[in-house]
Chain A
Amino acid sequence: MSAEFDIAETLDVKGESCPMPVVKTKGAIDGLAEGEVLEVLATDSGSMSDIDGWASGTDGVELVDQQESDDVYKHYVRRTE
């Protein structure tokens, strides 16, 4: 699954709750170059739906993958423009 893309940067928002995972993801993705993928590590269970909703409603980003393991929600977001 994760072999399809390289991770350019990892953002750790474990412990933080709404709206910070989305807000900080936006801040971090702005620092990436086009085509690069950001990994976001969160413990907020709402982040699965929130990051998905944010990525589909926001220009220039694309949700590549989401995974859950050991109560950590992992999100992979690519900057597309």
Chain B
Amino acid sequence: MSTDTPDAAADETADAPSRAELAARVDELEDALAEATDEDDTRKMSIIATKGTLDMAYPPLILASTAAAFGYEVTVFHTFWGLDILHEERSKKLKLSSVGNPNMPVPNAVAALPGMDRVTTRMMEKKIEDNDTATIEELLETSLDMGVEFQACQMTIDLMDYDENDFYDGVTTGVGAATALQDMADADIQLLV
């Protein structure tokens, strides 16, 4: 009865990997672990910007520049009206819609009159100036300086009949949904604005 134990132990020793084999396996696993943790070292954020009104241009730019300050690698993919944020001329003339927002100080029936968007936009621009809030241009330039990648959707550039040279220097063109999707898949934070 007591002879079972030594026999079993002898069999196990014969099958068991040697110390050198185990050491090699540990090295292999440590390398794999280092590689896996290395890859995810840089945090990433991917934003899809679809709106081009003055109020809706702010959130993607504020979040992009802030994330860059945190050390995130940031990509902002601009499509449809979001393209106007990257358009050098149009970004300086973004408007606030006076209709469709019940929080506006003017009733919708009045807000729908011709020229009212200009009035509400002027009001907002004044508030931005009085509060020393950064302008869209300032936020965009700052974000570009910080390494944020701004992408202009090629399909909407063609659709809106924009010229690639109309965009700020440093804006990436010639990209589509697959590029955005790949960025989103790799990112820790994904946002649609």
Give A contacts to B, CB under 8 Å: 15-20, 22-23, 25-27, 54, 57-59
- Extra inter-chain contacts (7) besides given A23-B66, A54-B69, CB under 8 Å: A15-B132, A17-B134, A19-B62, A19-B65, A25-B69, A54-B66, A57-B70
Q: Which residue of B lies closest to A44 (CB)?
A: B132
CA of A63 to CA of B69 in the docked complex: distance in angstroms?
A: 15
Q: Which residues of A contact B142 (CB under 8 A)?
A: 20, 23
CA of A17 to CA of B127 in the docked complex: distance in angstroms?
A: 13
Q: Is the Cβ of B146 less than 8 Å from the Cβ of A23? A: yes
Give B contacts to A, CB under 8 Å: 62, 65-66, 68-71, 131-134, 139, 142, 146
CA of A59 to CA of B142 in the docked complex: distance in angstroms?
A: 21
Q: Is the Cβ of B70 less than 8 Å from the Cβ of A17? A: no
Q: Which residue of A lies closest to B131 (CB)?
A: A17
Across the A-B interface, give the 5 residue pairs with the lowest CB-CB distance, nearest first.
Answer: A26-B69, A19-B66, A15-B132, A19-B62, A23-B65
CA of A17 to CA of B128 in the docked complex: distance in angstroms?
A: 10
CA of A27 to CA of B65 in the docked complex: distance in angstroms?
A: 11
Q: Which residues of A contact B131 (CB under 8 A)?
A: 17
CA of A32 to CA of B142 in the docked complex: distance in angstroms?
A: 20
Q: Is the Cβ of B65 less than 8 Å from the Cβ of A16? A: no
Q: Is the Cβ of A17 less than 8 Å from the Cβ of B66? A: no
Q: Which residues of B contact A54 (CB under 8 A)?
A: 66, 69-70
Distance in angstroms from B137 CB to nearest chain A CB is: 14
Distance in angstroms from A26 CB to nearest chain B CB is: 4
Given A19-B66, A23-B66, A23-B142: A59 and B71 within 8 A (CB)?
yes
CA of A18 to CA of B62 in the docked complex: distance in angstroms?
A: 8
Q: Is the Cβ of A17 less than 8 Å from the Cβ of B146? A: no
Q: Which residues of A contact B68 (CB under 8 A)?
A: 23, 26
